[in-house]
Amino acid sequence: MGMTITEKILAAHADLQEVHPGMLINARVDIALGNDITAPIAIEEFQKAGGKQVFDKDKVVLIPDHFTPNKDISSAQQCKFVREFAKSQILTHYYEGGEVGVEHALLPEKGIVLPGDLVIGADSHTCTYGALGAFATGVGSTDLAAAMLTGEVWFKVPESMKFVLFGKLNPWVSGKDLILYIIGKIGVDGALYKAMEITGETLASLGMADRMSMANMAIEAGAKNGIFACDDITRAYVKPRAKRPWTEYASDADAVYCETIEIDCSRIEPQVAFPHLPSNTKGISNVGNVRIDQAVIGSCTNGRIEDLRVAAQVLKGRKAASHVRLLIIPATPEVYRMAMDEGLMNVFMDANAIISPPTCGPCLGGHMGILAQGERAVATTNRNFVGRMGHPGSEVYLSNPAVAAASAVMGRLAGPDELK
């Protein structure tokens, strides 16, 4: 019996010939990731367990990106704790200040995560790296501590769901829209503890930024991981960045899936997820007249240069409505510099946008754009739970960068005729 790409990666890292859904395995970790919120707990547990040295200074990665630049004394203390640990361990991959970026954009950009890797991170959106053909999943801080000590972590092998995408994409439809549509179709628990394997002819028109957006939000359907097989688009992205060899895996023709879902992408228009679940989706033809107070373009879901280019295309020659705070958050310093070099920052400033340094900031209600009671935001982020971006009485609407930009201009959720 054949294996899926997820099963093959897990088997290889557990030194097993094969694995099957439901098996409990111990697997070697290629990258173990923590941030300024989750790493302090992991470090404390590491030290309580008697840890003196991490298993591999090249494979433990710490990125203080959530509450940075430090928003208050508490966050400054957390970052100081992480910084001192990273320096004491002589970690190869520790980034802060002018080098820091949103972790799930920074790691692929720097070639730290590669195809075939097994990656864990004490952050639920670690599943982003599945876009590269890696098995990547979020874990708790104590699991991260164990991996930092031993270089291993245990898993229950997930079942795999196969999503076959076909059809030509409509104008302004991106990977963000496809994953919102899928989550709307199957629900926030539709892939609970399963691997979401994305395949099909439509992938030929999806670049790495689109694929990362989709893998990033696999967790919003309850998935253990999202994953794409490597192709020429993946290799073109990875080859100039990789500092070490990688291994590509592909599912066998006779691999077993618990479910196969076919998606006709030609029937999908840009999507908006209404409060308070990513599954509460509507096409923009049906959004109605929803006034907004803030628009956020950035995050680990949609803060890459491709996302900013789309936003600038919509915003060029236009201004945000006078009552809307338009926030632009490049995900990494490299993205920031590229946006400057390409003139995108001028477009954003002409549109009266606020340009932030790379940070997770408002996505988790951290800082750099908190909502007051009764306020509404349209955001290219990944979650719109109650109070996610601020006051429990606020609302978040999820969209792609084009819709967010057009909505900022209109002062309300944009309809299909307002994208240009």
The tens digit of pLDDT for each residue in 240-288 reads 999 999 999 999 999 999 999 999 999 999 999 999 999 999 999 999 9
Domain containing residue 205: CATH number? 3.30.499.10
Q: How confident is the model at residue 416 (pLDDT cuts 50, 70, 90)?
A: confident
Among the candidates 238, 263, 288, a domain finishes at 263
Q: Computed from CA positions of residues 131, 133, 137, 141, in that sequence, does the dihedral angle turn out positive or negative?
A: negative
- Using DSSP bridges, classify how beta strands 24-28 and 152-156 pair: parallel, antiparallel or unpaired: antiparallel
Domain end point (choices 208, 230, 263): 263
The last residue of a domain, from among 237, 263, 289: 263
β-pair type (271-273, 281-283): antiparallel
What's residue 379's pLDDT? 97
- What is the rounded average pLDDT for all residues in the chain? 96
Q: How confident is the model at residue 44 (pLDDT cuts 50, 70, 90)?
A: very high
Residues 278, 258 share a domain: no
Helix, strand or coil, per DSSP, at residue 93:
strand
pLDDT at 262: 97
- The number of CA neighbours under 13 Å toward the Cβ of 309 is 11
Domain count of the fold of the chain: 2
| H/E segment holding residue 382 | none
**Range list of H helices, 260-389:** 299-302, 305-315, 333-341, 344-350
Half-sphere CA count of 326, side-chain side, radius 13 A: 29
Q: Residue 54: name the closest of 108, 104, 94, 9 by CA.
A: 94
Residue 420, pLDDT > 80, answer: no
Spatial CA neighbour of 156 closest among 26, 12, 29, 257: 26
- Asked, for residue 208, whether it belongs to a domain, the answer is yes
Residue 419 binned pLDDT confidence (cut-offs 50, 70, 90): confident
Segment 164-172 mean pLDDT: 96
Q: Is residue 211 included in any domain, yes or no?
A: yes
List phi, psi (to 5°) of 365: 70, 30
In this structure, are 225 and 346 located in the same domain? no
> What would the DSSP string read from start to end of 18-74?
---TT-EEEEE-SEEEEETTTHHHHHHHHHHTT--S-S-TTTEEEE--SSTTT-SHH
**pLDDT over 90 for what percent of the chain?**
96
By residue range, what is the domain housing residue 332? Answer: 271-414
Q: Are residues 221 and 321 in the same domain?
A: no
Going by pLDDT thresholds of 50, 70 and 90, the confidence category of residue 184 is very high
Tens of pLDDT along 329-372?
A: 999 999 999 999 999 999 999 999 999 999 999 998 889 999 99
Q: Do the domain assignments include residue 252?
A: yes
- 117 in the same domain as 189: yes
The answer to whether residues 280 and 273 touch, using CB atoms and an 8 Å cutoff, is yes
**Residue among 371, 201, 241, 237 nearest 296 (CA):** 371
Whether residue 1 has pLDDT greater than 80: no
- Express each pLDDT in 61-83 by its tens digit: 999 999 988 989 999 999 999 99
* Residue 383 included in any domain: yes
| 419 lies in some domain | no
Domain assignment of residue 420, yes or no: no
* pLDDT computed for residue 251 by the predictor: 97
User: Do 165 and 141 share a structural domain?
Assistant: yes
Comparing CA positions, the residue from 81, 47, 57, 54 lying closest to residue 67 is 81
One domain, residues 18 and 117: yes
- Residue 307 located in a structural domain: yes
Supply the pLDDT for residue 248: 97
Same domain, 212 and 314: no
Do residues 277 and 222 share a domain?
Answer: no
Give pTM, 2 decimals. Answer: 0.94
